[in-house]
Amino acid sequence: MARIYPLFSSSSGNAEFIGTPDGGILIDCGVSARRLTQALDRCGISPEAVQGVFITHDHSDHVKGLRVFTKKFGIPVYAQSVTRQCLYSCGWLEPEQTCNVLDGTVTCADIRITPFETSHDTAQSCGFRMEMPDGRVCAVCTDLGYVSETVSASLDGCDLVLLEANYDVNMLRTGPYPAQLKMRIASQVGHLSNDDSAAEIRRLAENGTAHFVLGHLSQHNNLPALAERTVEQTLSGLTRGQDYTLRTAAPETDGRMIVF
């Protein structure tokens, strides 16, 4: 039975556990080790069940708790080469901590994990496609300014996709952020809007993906109900709960898992 636990998902911190209480992997580690351990506990997962931490990129809301959490529990870290360099140079990992270079598909906790390139304003960033032991496939894809051909190809064939829906265009335009930050968010190295996320979800639904999770919502420029409504309108003609499932990842887990 394939499971994903969205532990944290917002502009303040991100982490997802994929697997079962017997073993799995963590995508990102963007909150303190204490908060992450508490969130895992609410899901009935011991930190010792985490067999690897896979890092998408080096922004603090994805790596804030990495050094302490992985050192405390002796968990291996995986990151692409440039991201790996940034983790050490920025102090997110100590020199004596091991970080494995991720340059292709690896197997961890019986899950095959493949990184794919995303467009974001950092030295290097990626999403992850995961093939579970039972043959089910899922992907985690946040922090991208647009959906590239590489991203679309990597999401094709997934049973579940956690996709960024960071901002509503109107809320961002009329919101309190300074103009330069608004431009950065809406750029092709920024974040994905509700509209762009919905368009990709429509394409994926038409190609057979049935389970969707909206992630990394801005707490200032979006609302869960608004993001979900945008997707539902784009999927007109399909019935939610029958043809597809849709939920929004909360900023912090309530202990529930998603089975796919």
User: Coil, helix or strand for 148?
Assistant: coil
pLDDT (tens digit per residue) in 225-243: 999 999 999 999 999 999 9
Mean pLDDT across the chain: 97
User: What's the CATH number for 3-259?
Assistant: 3.60.15.10
pLDDT (tens digit per residue) in 171-181: 999 999 999 99
Q: What global pTM score does this model have?
A: 0.97
Task: Return the domain boundaries, the chain.
Answer: 3-259
For residue 1, the model assigns a pLDDT of 78
Burial 116-140 (b: 16+ CB within 10 A, else e): bebbbbbebbbbbbbbbeeebbbbb
The dihedral built from the CA positions of residue 242, 19, 79 and 253, taken in this order, carries a sign that is: positive
Work out the average pLDDT over 36-47.
Answer: 98
Parallel, antiparallel, or unpaired for β 50-54 and 77-79? parallel
